Amino acid sequence: MEETTDINRELMLDANATAGVLYEIFGVEMTASPTECAHCGNEGEVGALLAFVQGPGIVLRCSTCENVVLRIVQTPEATYLDARGAVYLRLAR
């Protein structure tokens, strides 16, 4: 894989490390759910996104173009979810 960005791979998490946080937020198992990158159109499972801890939150990036798909910040009072990088998220019923 060619290095086209300056993201710090040493901060990369295993996708499963974020599964618990995602479950807490959405109330369903998310790692096998499909999503689509709004930047490059790559479709894949949430669990296949590249997960990083940067500052106070978790950042999930597209495994193809490395653009941010989801950003999650949790404070003592609330959870902030920035999903503008995703065309959609699928939550199983």
Contact footprint for Zn ion (CB under 5 A): 37, 39-40, 42, 62, 64-65
Nearer to Zn ion, 40 or 91 (CB): 40
State the nearest-atom distance from the C-beta of 43 to Zn ion, in Å: 10
Nearer to Zn ion, 41 or 56 (CB): 41
Nearer to Zn ion, 33 or 74 (CB): 33
Extract the runs of DSSP E, i.e. beta strands, from the chain.
12-13, 34-37, 43-45, 50-54, 57-61, 68-74, 79-82, 86-89
The values of phi and psi at residue 58, to 5°, are: -110, 135
